[in-house]
A and B are shown apart, each in its own frame.
Chain A
């Protein structure tokens, strides 16, 4: 019989792409109060100082910037409420706010629906080629949403997109089949890139769920659908809610996709407004900061609900008394349509965008009518001979190595303090280290630039590393927490009893045991750091631009063809890294390892 456990003794695996959270970690248990009276360790203070420097500093600077008459550091800038009043005390941004929330919430609802269905099919049915299908679902994580948006713009622009243009002459009609610039179109592209997040969160929870409850339902004569609706769904509800709020928070701050697609739905998303405030003539950085603070409050609310949902989810995580495996439902002939559903997703999220990218990279300008295609490798030569490309490539490699490495180390420290030390200080560390999820990249980057403007780090690659480490702490801490709560504390205590110091214990006992979780975290952050645009486009100096920012610059210069070449190059580098991780370090890229 399954034994529901107190959160403090949970041995389940946690969602992969989620922040460290007190809710489902031991600190949330009643014991936390008792241990909260412990004196905080030096390590806890050090970690707190780090997360304050990396996270609170930039966010606080952003609020400061919103209260200035000009960008911090500018001559004659003074205290001013103009930007704040314009954003909060007028109706000017109400349309953007409602539109942004509608876009984010609908994207999140659909991502949870499709991600949840995929998770259920892959964990509860006998569908074939499960590993391959799961890979198909999570592969879009390894594509830059920005590059994907560029590709979809070429594919589905209403008048000139490849799909519309070629179907028209094939079918002899003037009809518009798809329009990616509408609310639904933009939501569709966002959905493609957020389904993997929802899938991982839900799939992980489904695997942790005690299948004997479903088994009991079957034994009592309930069918597949009744069991799914009456047993699985209610138990999974907190995890579904958590996935919903997590995706909603990310989608609220999205900038690249609506910006590239040129959303034509009567409103401009708030994150795009932030970018515009700093790029239009005349620029208005305080306004951008004030809009950023408005996004922050809403995403913070989303994070609150997310943590709450996770906390409730923790109540249902169980350790089975026997090693019950879920009963696999026989799909029979339904395997074909189910597999076809996965294939359609792979087609839309991976195959079509890459086909468009390849075509763009081989044509001298944007040609969408296949009858007029004129292909050559000239663009590859042009990009290869662009002076900044080699430097940008080197910068990208440094970022892809340093960011995951440092973030994972700090993530372990955060998780150790939160999971093992407990107490008020660790609660504070836990809260602060969740905050970056609530701050859109472009907004966080603005705070970073202002904060470090007068430091020697300004304009350097190191500053991008500092920013990205701050941004990705929640992810690394989550992986580390998930691994840490499965390691018996007595192993560490034995080390301490034998005279080893805390850091030595972490280095020689905890760290090696955590290695599989940390390797998964490392490889995911490697991909994120390689494809990152939102932060780097604001922070990078002339010598620290990574490839993804160079691709963005090419788009702004009207050279989509060059951007496509760089998009392909980035993918190649990411795939190489992922393959090395899989072959050499045996890092698995599915929800069980993530």
Chain B
């Protein structure tokens, strides 16, 4: 009897441990202390420290296959394996913010397309200060020098179509003006659209057409015309699959970084950029209290190098941002491909107060878009 009580007490203790572990007030706060804010020319020491840590964790919202293939380059060079956690941007930032607030840093490098969230991360001191030696090779206005840099190039919103489902005339129409084409009655029942709730960039894509700088040319009327074609609503990845598979002739709001590599694989898709499309970049920075802070800093050194930029450009077929990387993308050789004009592309939505206001909690943009399209999700 005594023995059974002892064993049961052990079970009680174990149960208590479960409860306590669930309620305990904080995990290991891996205090990084005063991390160096640059490699100070001693890259060898940084490499040695990073290899001693032996691993790296990267959080990102670019697509899984691209992130895996790109970070493999870092592993190949430094023999440091990279674990990738890929989630939709909004969910990823929420998770990251919760972890940092709870002193529960899991990521070493944090990459996100949403500039405003990255700025918030800097403000909240969730990103550590670090300046890579090649940081000045990347455009300042697409990052926040000293904290996060646009390591993963720029990507743009497109209208993507399935060539086997469109006539020559229809393809010409889309190439001429993709937005007007999407509202053409001949595409009724054949299109799908990405929702502005999917990401800040796709919200900016619709905003500039409806209320922003292209409102005079398009306005809400252009979106109403697209809505009149009875589109389905899908996220970017689902949308590109739908167009590739032939479920939809036309997909509005697909990033070129998703569509480009699939087009190169031989899928029957092409895409067109609206004349003044929306563009953005994934910013990456070192996480404050990163479990592997040396590996994180080394990754930033690698990520800002021309080799890493070229690698990312090759994998995703996106326009290289690193000033020392030549644009050798295969996709540029395709006869239908016409690169977007960076001088007219809207990158500044990330700081545009009017735009940020209308998609904020007090704005009505999402409601109006949903009402226009009859979207209830």
Contacts and interface: CB of A to CB of B under 8 A. Distances in A.
| A and B associate in one complex | yes
A358 interface: no
Nearest to A499: B1
B114 A281 contact: yes
Nearest to B247: A160
A273 B376 CA distance: 10
Interface string A379-403: 0000000111001000000000000
Interface string A271-290: 01100101111110100000
Contacts of B99: 453, 458-459
Contacts of B340: none
B27 A556 contact: no
Contacts of B31: none
Contact of B22 (A262, A386, A387, A455): A455
A559 interface: yes
B98 A453 contact: yes
A72 B28 CA distance: 19
A541 B90 contact: no
B317 interface: no
A72 B94 CA distance: 11
A75 interface: yes
Interface stretch (A187-195, A245-253, A501-509, A511-519): A501-509
A336 interface: no
Contact of B91 (A43, A157, A283, A543): A283
Nearest to B237: A558
A365 B71 contact: no
B335 to A, nearest CB: 21
B13 to A, nearest CB: 9
A542 B26 contact: no
B102 A53 contact: no
A366 B246 CA distance: 9
A454 B102 contact: yes
A543 B84 CA distance: 8
B247 A454 contact: no
A interface bracket (residues with beta carbon within 8 Å of B): 35 or more
A263 B18 CA distance: 39
B268 to A, nearest CB: 9
Interface in A515-568: 541-543, 545, 550, 553-560, 562
A46 B15 CA distance: 7
A502 B15 contact: no
Contacts of A95: 376
B21 A365 contact: no
Contact of B64 (A272, A501, A554): A554
Contacts of A159: 246-248
Contacts of A453: 98-99, 102, 104
Interface in B213-244: 232, 234-238, 240-242, 244
Interface string B87-106: 11111011001110111101
B243 to A, nearest CB: 10
Interface in B54-109: 57-59, 63-66, 68, 71-72, 75, 81-91, 93-94, 97-99, 101-104, 106-107
A218 to B, nearest CB: 53
Contacts of B25: 454
A364 interface: yes
A74 B68 contact: no
Contacts of B200: 281
B41 interface: no
Contact of B59 (A43, A501, A542): A542
Given A43-B8, A57-B19, A283-B91, A268 B262 contact: no
A73 interface: yes
A380 B42 CA distance: 41
Given A387-B72, A558-B258, A562-B65, A280 B376 contact: no
A46 B21 contact: no
A457 interface: yes
A266 interface: yes
A387 B237 contact: no
B64 A49 contact: no
Interface in B186-210: 195-200, 203
A466 interface: yes
Nearest to A283: B90
A71 B85 contact: no
A41 B12 CA distance: 12
B27 A454 contact: yes
Nearest to A457: B21
Nearest to B267: A365
A114 interface: no
A369 to B, nearest CB: 8
A165 interface: yes
Contact of A456 (B9, B21, B57, B248): B21
Given A74-B101, A281-B203, A541-B106, A559 B18 contact: no
B339 interface: no
Interface in A31-55: 41-43, 45-47, 49-50, 52-54
Contacts of A413: 11
The CB with the most chain A CB atoms within 10 A, among B14, B68, B82, B124, is that of B68
Interface string B1-41: 11111011101101110110111111110000000000000
Interface in A421-456: 451-456
Nearest to B203: A281
Contacts of A278: 90-91, 94
A318 interface: no
A154 interface: yes
A174 interface: no
Contact of A386 (B68, B198, B266): B68
A264 interface: yes
A368 B232 CA distance: 20
Contacts of A7: none
Name the 9 nearest CB pairs between A and B, nearest first: A501-B4, A557-B63, A42-B8, A49-B15, A160-B246, A542-B85, A558-B237, A557-B64, A366-B245
11 contacts: A43-B8, A160-B246, A268-B377, A280-B197, A365-B244, A387-B75, A387-B81, A456-B27, A458-B27, A459-B104, A502-B8
Given A71-B97, A281-B203, A501-B3, 11 more contacts: A54-B18, A279-B88, A366-B267, A387-B68, A387-B84, A388-B68, A542-B107, A553-B64, A557-B86, A558-B63, A558-B258
